[in-house]
Structure 1
């Protein structure tokens, strides 16, 4: 699939505050579509958005689907580490994830919980058709830098980076 540096030319940093606001906006959209029985949080990225959505929708039944497909630099083939067991076929349940990228994880989740409503905070064009609700779309060549993967440090201006062949 290639490394991050080969697939992504832009970075979209997301702060904790922005993620919270965007997750709350997702909850507002989902509120109108309910009622919901529970949430399946997709680990690890979907845990924080699922927590915000659960709070805002006053849902206490939360299960997880544990699927590994990323590390900090590569996207590989998805592996199911744990299936959601409380949601049955997904009827009346939400699947919450941080992002749908190429759709690999989304296809697994759709097969696992075919009747669930799949919602993500962020969506890219290749994966967007696989989710029912999302908040923000970013281009396919953008790496979303989530707050749990970052720390504050100096970054050169875009123009300087371009002059140095870094942007």
Structure 2
């Protein structure tokens, strides 16, 4: 049974960049050499670009898997695969939530090194490395899924907002 979402966490572009660079540092310390990066689309594309730069890897590919409809994870649909078993390949995604997507990836690329920037407890056992663990009941709002917008001050009530304001107010 799925756990209900009780919290949200908005990840900013800066936070994502810093966390992904921290992941790059950990990968460099691990001294493994990768010949290519495979981004799991779509969430893994931005972290993969950052890792490709920081690790000096020029060969970047995508493994396209569709699983989410709104906030519900459904059946895994491999829309585009990659060749080989994954030897020398770094596979990157933004998040391992339930682990279902990464399990599918491991069936396709069993020899790859799989990393995510963020992980939830149910998806922790399927990744080789990650940076930040968040609670299972937390929905992560990634910067490509959100936009900044004006929010009215809390002191304004619904009644206050319904009356016309002038610039003199």
TM-score (norm 2): 0.85
1:8-157 residue pairs with structure 2 within 5 A? Answer: 8-33=5-30, 34-85=32-83, 88-153=84-149, 154=151
Unaligned runs of 5+ in 1: 158-167
Supply the RMSD in Å over aligned alpha carbons.
1.7
Q: Secondary structure at the match of 2:62?
A: strand
Q: 1: CA distance between counterparts of 2:28 and 2:75?
A: 33
Q: Secondary structure at the match of 2:130?
A: strand
Q: 1: CA distance between counterparts of 2:125 and 2:116?
A: 12
Q: Secondary structure at the match of 2:47?
A: helix
Q: Bigger radius of gyration, 1 or 2?
A: 2
Q: Cα distance, 1:104 vs. partner? A: 0.7
Unaligned runs of 5+ in 2: 155-169
Q: Cα distance, 1:151 vs. partner? A: 1.1
Q: In terms of mean alpha carbon deviation, does 12-21 or 70-79 score higher?
A: 70-79
Deviation digits for residues 19-68 of structure 1 (CA, Å, limit 9, x no counterpart):
00011111111112321111010000000000000000000011110001
